[in-house]
Structure 1
Amino acid sequence: MLDIRFSSALQAMLYLAAAAEGDSPTVSSGRLAEALGTNASVVRKLLVPLGVHGLVESSRGRSGGARLARPAGEITLAEIYRCAVGEKPLWACRPESEHVCPVTTNAAEYFARLTVEVEGAVLQSLGCRTLADALREMRGLDRAVP
């Protein structure tokens, strides 16, 4: 099963970044849910770790909602990724089997090292992009479509 937490969190953050540019930076969970194609309770759960890590501020009540806690140019995609997936590794290793050859003896350790290396590359790439950069890139995709 594919994990969509990061893509969902990124889409929500992009939506909030776009809203922050307008005159209504606070977005209700219902409006965010509609944009994500899900329900408001899923959105509220998605926003919890983003709020805990200081990326989103939420307020309750009739005029409540969520907004960016910092400017989009100060939030990296790596921060959003870490909030969305936590410390869960990018991949899960197969359970170890009986050690009968060099492959079965070393596969788990090799895969664990490979996972750390790839996760580092992912975080490095995401750390070089801000939410503002991503919003600009995304808007550029509109112009690329004939």
Structure 2
Amino acid sequence: MLDVRFSRALQAMLFLALAAEDGSATLSSPELARRLSTNPSLVRKLLAPLTSAGLVGCVKGRGGGAYLARPAEEITLAEIYRCAVGDKPLWACSPEGERVCLVTAHAAEYFAALTAEAEDAVLAALGDRTLADSMGELRRLDEESARQS
């Protein structure tokens, strides 16, 4: 099963960025849940690490909700990714077996290095993009879609 935490966290952050652009103060967890087609409890779990990292702020109580704690131009996708997945590696290595040949002797070590290299590449690509860049890309895609219709 594929891990969708980053995808969901990014979508939530994009909804908050759009709300900020539209002048909305906050989005409630039920509203975010509706937009993400999930439940408010999952949204609150999704927002917890983003809030701890200072990317999202929350107003409690009636009429409260979540908001971007920093401008979208200052939030990188790498930060959102790290909040969403934590220290979980990109791929999990198969358990080591008996070391009886070249492959079984070194496969786990090789795979760990390969995974670390891929993770570094992912973080580098995401570190070069901000939430504001993503909003711009979504607008570009929307314009292309409208032209093709």
TM-score with structure 2 setting the length: 0.96
In the other structure, the counterpart of 1:119 is 119
**Structure 1 residues not aligned, in runs of 5+:** none
- TM-superposed deviation, 1:25: 3.0
In the other structure, the counterpart of 1:132 is 132
Question: What does the per-residue CA deviation read over 1:11-49, in whole Å, with 9 as the maximum and x for residues that have no partner?
Answer: 000000000011213111111001000011110110000
SS in 2 for 1:99: coil
In the other structure, the counterpart of 2:23 is 23
* One-letter amino acid of the structure 1 residue matched with residue 104 of structure 2: T
Percent of aligned pairs sharing the same letter: 66
Between the aligned partners of 1:117 and 1:136, the Cα distance in structure 2 is 29
Question: What does the per-residue CA deviation read over 1:70-122, in whole Å, with 9 as the maximum and x for residues that have no partner?
Answer: 00000000000000000100000000011111011000000000000000000
Between the aligned partners of 1:25 and 1:110, the Cα distance in structure 2 is 49
* One-letter amino acid of the structure 2 residue matched with residue 14 of structure 1: L
How many residue pairs were aligned? Answer: 146
**Cα RMSD (Å):** 0.7
2:99 pairs with 1:99: yes
